[in-house]
Amino acid sequence: MFIVNEATMSFISGNIQLNGVNRSIGSSGSQVELVQGTFPIQVVVPSGFEFVRWAAGQAGIPGEGVTVQNVNANPTNITITGQPSPTITAWIRPVVVVVSTRLTISGPSSVEPGASITITGRLTRPDTGVGIANGFITLEQPLGNAVSSGRTDSNGNYSISVTAPMSEGTLQFRTSFAATAGLGASQSAVMGIGIGEPSNLPLLVVLGAAAFFLSR
C-alpha cells in the first residue's frame, strides 16, 4: 500500500489501518502484504492533507485481485481475491485554504475624446486589509470585454491606462481578479466615465446580494 500526494505524485509518510492494526508506510512507499478475504481499511491522513480516494494498484500500474467497496470513503472495506499481495493506493492532496479578495476601482468622472483614461484601484484581503502583490487585474469595457490588464504592486495597488474613443457618451468600466491558488476571485464596482461630458452613471457598489447606487 502507498500514500501518494496527488499534486506531485511523490510518496509521503503516514499510516494505514488494516483490520484494526496500524501499518506504517514509509517515505519510500513500502508495501503491506495482504491475504485473501475482506478487511476494513483506513488511511490516517497527515496534518495539512485531505483524503481523495482509494485505487487498486499504484500510480500507472493497475491493481489485480483486489476490489474497494467504496473508493470515496475512508475508512472502507477491501476484498482480496486470487492474488497473494496486491497493492492499494490511498490518494491524498494538500488542503488549500482559499482567501477571499476585494477589488476597488477609481478614475476620472469625465475626459475629453481621445484622451488617456487612467483607472486605479487596490486588491486586498478583506479580513486583514493587506494588499495583495503581483495580482493580475483585467480591465473590462464594456462589461465582460477585456480591453487591458496590469499587475498590482507590492502594496496591492494597480494602474491601467486606455485611450478614450473620439465619440461622446458614457463608458462603463470594471476591473476583475481571477482566482488563483489560495486566493478567491473578485470584481470591482462598475464605474461610469463620461467622454466629452460628465458621467451621468452612478457608481454601482455590489455587497453580497445587495446593490447600492452612489451619487458621484
pLDDT band for position 1 (cuts 50, 70, 90): very low
Q: Which of 19-23, 101-105, 127-131, 189-193 has the lowest mean pLDDT?
A: 19-23
Find out whether 1 and 31 touch, Cβ atoms under 8 Å: yes
Element (H, E) at 191: strand 191-195
Contact 89, 58 (CB under 8 A): yes
Q: In this structure, are 121 and 189 located in the same domain? A: yes
Q: What is the pLDDT of residue 18?
A: 54
CATH of the domain at 77: 2.60.40
Determine the pLDDT at residue 105.
Answer: 97
Structural domains counted in the chain: 2
| Residues 19, 118 share a domain | no
Q: What phi, psi does 114 have (nearest 5°)? A: 80, -5
Among 94, 126, 148, give the residue marking a domain's end.
Answer: 94
- Same domain? For 79 and 106 the reply is no
Same domain? 79 vs 149: no
Whether 72 has a pLDDT exceeding 70, the answer reads yes
Q: Are 65 and 82 in contact (CB under 8 A)?
A: yes
- Residue-wise pLDDT for 117-172, tens only, equals 999 999 999 999 999 999 999 999 988 899 999 999 999 999 999 999 999 999 99
Is-contact 51 74, C-beta < 8 A?
A: yes
Domain shared by 192 and 112, yes or no: yes
Domain end marker among 38, 72, 94? 94
d(CA 137, CA 97): 21
With CA atoms as reference, report the closest residue to 172 among 150, 197, 202, 215: 202
The reply to whether 110 and 198 lie within a common domain is yes
Do 34 and 82 lie in a common domain? yes
Q: Are residues 80 and 117 in the same domain?
A: no
Q: Kindly report the length of the chain.
A: 216
Residues 170 and 209 in one domain: yes
What is the pTM for the complete model shown? Answer: 0.57
Domain range for 154: 102-214
Last residue of some domain: 51, 68, 94? 94
The string of pLDDT tens digits covering residues 11-63 is 344 455 555 555 544 433 344 555 677 877 777 777 777 788 877 765 555 56
Nearest to 206 by CA among 163, 183, 176: 176
Report which DSSP code applies to 84.
S
Query: Is the domain of 72 the same as that of 147?
Result: no
158 and 65 in a common domain = no
How many whole angstroms separate alpha carbon 118 and alpha carbon 34? 68
Report pLDDT for 9: 34
Whether 83 and 123 map to the same domain: the answer is: no
Which of the given ranges, 20-24, 33-37, 72-76, 92-96, has the highest pLDDT on average?
A: 72-76
- Residue 127: CB atoms within 10 Å: 9
What is the spatial distance between Cα 130 and Cα 116, in angstroms, rounded to a whole number?
A: 30
